[in-house]
């Protein structure tokens, strides 16, 4: 079985991105509400990627008990600030805040996470300018693996609005046959054993054994779990699938680094579009 | 087999809608670009439904060779006209016009077809205020048939941005396990014979025979074809599935009338929200 190296793919993407910003400094604002541990780690990884690419990171922290009005006011300030080109809001957003109100406040032109309804709706209509970073990473990895998606049987285990739903749309945009499973699916194995490509994002450590997969299939792992001893692992039981799968992504070092590279790509895209727009308006 | 009567369901929905508009007259503008025959029929059906409900229809016709700028100007006039509460643009939109530019020009608050990216994106995020009318009709029919969707195996044959993709999202919002097939699917039967609910929108007359379905399943037919003798029919070969399916929708008289009822419902929704917004702004 071929172990897909997400770090190598991410570095290749970053190298291409570096070529796109000479003597320019896009600025990415990350907004964290509260004190979630995984958000802290993600932010650190983002900061390191920004440094490698010459993107300026700005970190904003809001208290966990902030009122919705105050959070929205802060986001509007970031929208209005012309020196900021991308805005990312860390998940989870505290549950007392209306998640959609918060996300919808971001200027869609600065929506590096691709989660503003205008960007998600454009995706559904086939326009993939700013796409959510994890689904974008999955598509990129399949591209690097030279997997032609048209007509392929793809099964996704995840139906969240951040991962499973937009990923299904992106795969349909490429004419794959797509099945979306989740916690309410009656007979999961029946579906997963038919998949040429299985994309799993359950957060159940080691769920995907050889009994769940088709011989010669490619398995992409979006699951992240922390074992009692502190080890980070994904949904795949690697030793079990070794002799049956054709290729699989590890956790860590699989989808994660490519997700960060996709975020960097989105930030450079928003930067370039805002600059172009600014020039056009300056001329008028 | 139970033959689902879409006309009866549509009348029931209309009766409920009538109760929502006493002495009020919402206004629905339908914009047709060019001279498509099926658009003419659809417009006539819409006009009749408007009459039954007390909605005022306004019909605007633009020449098939209109420039994009001129079409967009016309849509903006409809957006600005406070006496108009809903705007529908007939499909197909001529191919020299950028479909997304046209749809995206509609004020999302007047988007009775639910196809503005902002409304499609909200749908993906789980907010189903204005949903595309055909997918909404399918969900309504399944509701009238008392079919509980959570955990059900649903197969859709159609992956268009107007039908298959938003319908898949609506089914996922209800926790069904969803497979989306289309012209590039390798082994269609393998999927359709597993479906508790099969939703077919291929436009291939009589494609769905008993060999394609699971015993006891419900088949919803979105396909419309015109036979050489002028007869209108759907994807289902009715005589073939009679002894195997539990229930199915005919064409005509199945999804079609409920689609029109869904359009009327959306128009009353946009009307009420615009009125509420107007009152609020008047007060301020």
Q: What is the DSSP string of A159-177?
A: --TTTHHHHHHHHHHTT-E
> Given the structure tokens 């990129």, which residue do they identify?
A140
Residue in chain B closest to A174 (alpha carbons) equals: B184
Q: Which tokens go with B236?
A: 């289902």
Closest in B100, B121, B179 to A179, CB measured: B179
Domains and CATH numbers, chain A: 20-108 (3.40.50.10860), 133-256 (3.40.50.720)
- Which chain A residues have a beta carbon less than 8 Å from that of B167? none
- Which chain A residues have a beta carbon less than 8 Å from that of B124? 117, 120-121, 124, 161, 165-166, 169
Q: What is the pLDDT of residue A277?
A: 86
Q: Which long-range contacts (CB under 8 A, 24 or more apart) does B189-197 make?
A: B190/A194, B191/A177, B191/B155, B192/B155, B192/B157, B194/A190, B194/B153, B194/B155, B195/B153, B195/B154, B195/B155, B196/B152, B196/B153, B196/B154, B197/B142, B197/B147, B197/B149, B197/B152, B197/B153, B197/B154, B197/B155
- Which chain A residues have a beta carbon less than 8 Å from that of B185? 151, 177
Whether pLDDT at B174 is above 90: yes
Mutate to test the interface with A, among B113, B117, B119, B156 (most CBs of A within 10 A): B117
Asked if A179 is an interface residue toward chain B (Cβ–Cβ < 8 A), one would say yes
In the predicted model, what is the mean pLDDT of chain A? 96
Asked if A204 is an interface residue toward chain B (Cβ–Cβ < 8 A), one would say no
Could you give the count of Cα atoms lying within 13 Å of A16 in the half-sphere of its Cβ? 10
pLDDT tens digit sequence for A125-150 = 999 999 999 999 999 999 999 999 99
- The minimum CA-CA distance between B7 and chain A, rounded to whole Å, is 30
Closest in B120, B179, B181 to A125, CB measured: B120
Q: How sure is the predictor about B284, in pLDDT bands with cuts at 50, 70 and 90?
A: low
Task: Return the bridge partners of B89, or none.
Answer: B31
Mutate to test the interface with B, among A102, A119, A125 (most CBs of B within 10 A): A125
Contact residues, A window 65-104, toward B, CB-based 8 Å cutoff: 100, 103
In the predicted model, what is the mean pLDDT of chain B? 96
Closest in A121, A186, A190 to B117, CB measured: A121
User: With an 8 Å Cβ cutoff, are B180 and A182 in contact?
Assistant: no
pTM above 0.90, yes or no: yes
pLDDT tens digit sequence for A149-181 = 999 999 999 999 999 999 999 999 999 999 999
Contact residues, A window 30-69, toward B, CB-based 8 Å cutoff: none
Q: Which tokens go with A240?
A: 């079990």
Q: What is the pLDDT of residue B28?
A: 98
- The minimum CA-CA distance between A105 and chain B, rounded to whole Å, is 13
Residues B69/B97, Cβ–Cβ less than 8 Å: no
- Which chain B residues have a beta carbon less than 8 Å from that of A172? 159, 164-165, 168, 180, 182
Q: What is the pLDDT of residue A139?
A: 98
pLDDT tens digit sequence for A45-63 = 999 999 999 999 999 999 9
- Angle, alpha carbons B158-B159-B163 (nearest 5°): 75
Could you give the count of Cα atoms lying within 13 Å of B96 in the half-sphere of its Cβ? 11
- Which chain B residues have a beta carbon less than 8 Å from that of A156? none
- Which chain B residues have a beta carbon less than 8 Å from that of A166? 124
CA dist., res. A162 & res. A178, Å (int) = 17
Whether pLDDT at A280 is above 90: no
3-state SS of B89-146 is: ECCCCCCCCCHHHHHHHCCHHHECCCCCHHHHHHHHCCCCCCCCHHHHHHHHHHHHCC
CA dist., res. B103 & res. A220, Å (int) = 35
Q: How sure is the predictor about A105, in pLDDT bands with cuts at 50, 70 and 90?
A: very high
> Given the structure tokens 């539990």, which residue do they identify?
B246
Q: What is the pLDDT of residue B249?
A: 98
- Which chain A residues have a beta carbon less than 8 Å from that of B176? 184
Which of B72, B129, B136 lies closest to B104 in space, CA to CA?
B72
User: With an 8 Å Cβ cutoff, are A124 and B165 in contact?
Assistant: yes
Q: What is the DSSP letter of A90?
A: P
Residue A53, judged by CB atoms within 10 A of its CB (0-12, 13-18, 19+), counts as: buried
Helices A255-283, A6-18: inter-axial angle, 10-degree rounding? 20
Task: Return the bridge partners of B162, or none.
Answer: none
User: With an 8 Å Cβ cutoff, are B124 and A125 in contact?
Assistant: no
Mutate to test the interface with A, among B124, B131, B155 (most CBs of A within 10 A): B124
Which of A273, A199, A213, A270 lies closest to A243 in space, CA to CA?
A213
> Given the structure tokens 């795949």, which residue do they identify?
A236
Task: Return the bridge partners of A2, or none.
Answer: A247
Of A273-282, B93-102, B201-210, the least confident: A273-282
* A153 CB-near residues (< 8 Å, 6+ apart): A176, A177, A179, A194, A195, A196, A197, B186
Residues A60/A43, Cβ–Cβ less than 8 Å: no
pLDDT tens digit sequence for A68-98 = 999 999 999 999 999 999 999 999 999 999 9
Asked if B214 is an interface residue toward chain A (Cβ–Cβ < 8 A), one would say no
Q: Is A30 helix (H, G, I), strand (E, B) or coil?
A: strand
- Which chain B residues have a beta carbon less than 8 Å from that of A190? 194
* A151 CB-near residues (< 8 Å, 6+ apart): A175, A176, A177, B184, B185, B186
Asked if A180 is an interface residue toward chain B (Cβ–Cβ < 8 A), one would say yes
Could you give the count of Cα atoms lying within 13 Å of B35 in the half-sphere of its Cβ? 3
The secondary structure of A180-231 as a DSSP string is: EE-TT-S-HHHHHTT-SEEEE----TT-B-GGGS-TT-EEEE---EE-TTS-
Of the ranges A33-37, B117-121, B274-278, which is most confident? B117-121
* B154 CB-near residues (< 8 Å, 6+ apart): B171, B176, B177, B178, B179, B195, B196, B197, B198, B199
User: With an 8 Å Cβ cutoff, are A150 and B184 in contact?
Assistant: yes
Contact residues, B window 101-140, toward A, CB-based 8 Å cutoff: 103, 115-127
Whether pLDDT at A284 is above 60: no
Asked if A158 is an interface residue toward chain B (Cβ–Cβ < 8 A), one would say no
Per-residue CA distances from B197 to A269, B14, B42, B116, B246 (Å) = 41, 26, 27, 28, 10
Q: What is the DSSP letter of B56?
A: E
User: With an 8 Å Cβ cutoff, are B180 and A185 in contact?
Assistant: no
- Which chain B residues have a beta carbon less than 8 Å from that of A176? 184
User: With an 8 Å Cβ cutoff, are B182 and A175 in contact?
Assistant: yes
Q: How sure is the predictor about B283, in pLDDT bands with cuts at 50, 70 and 90?
A: low
Q: Which tokens go with B119?
A: 């409304």
């Amino acid at each position: 079985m071929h172990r897909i190296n997400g770090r190598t793919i991410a570095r290749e993407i970053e190298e291409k991105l570096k070529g796109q910003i000479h003597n320019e400094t896009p600025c990415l604002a990350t907004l964290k509400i509260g004190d979630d541990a995984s958000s802290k780690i993600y932010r650190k990884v983002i900061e390191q990627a920004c440094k490698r690419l010459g993107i300026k990171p700005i970190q904003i922290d809001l208290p966990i008990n902030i009122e919705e009005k105050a959070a929205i006011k802060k986001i509007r300030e970031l929208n209005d600030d012309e020196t900021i080109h991308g805005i990312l809001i860390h998940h989870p957003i505290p549950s007392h805040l209306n998640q959609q109100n918060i996300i919808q406040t971001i200027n869609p032109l600065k929506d590096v996470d691709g989660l503003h309804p205008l960007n998600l709706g454009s995706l559904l209509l086939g326009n993939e300018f700013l796409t959510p970073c994890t689904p974008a990473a999955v598509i990129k990895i399949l591209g690097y693996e030279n997997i032609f998606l048209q007509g392929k049987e793809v099964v996704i285990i995840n139906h969240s609005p951040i991962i499973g739903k937009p990923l299904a749309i992106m795969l349909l945009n490429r004419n794959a046959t797509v099945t979306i499973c989740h916690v309410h699916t009656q007979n999961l194995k029946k579906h997963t054993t038919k998949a040429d490509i299985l994309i799993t994002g359950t957060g159940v450590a080691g769920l995907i054994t050889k009994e769940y997969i088709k011989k010669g299939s490619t398995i992409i792992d979006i699951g992240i779990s922390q074992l009692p001893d502190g080890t980070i692992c994904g949904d795949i039981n690697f030793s079990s699938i070794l002799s049956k799968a054709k290729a699989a992504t590890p956790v860590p070092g699989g989808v994660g680094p490519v997700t960060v590279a996709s975020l960097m790509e989105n930030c450079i895209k928003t930067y370039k579009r805002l600059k172009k727009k600014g020039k056009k308006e300056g001329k008028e």
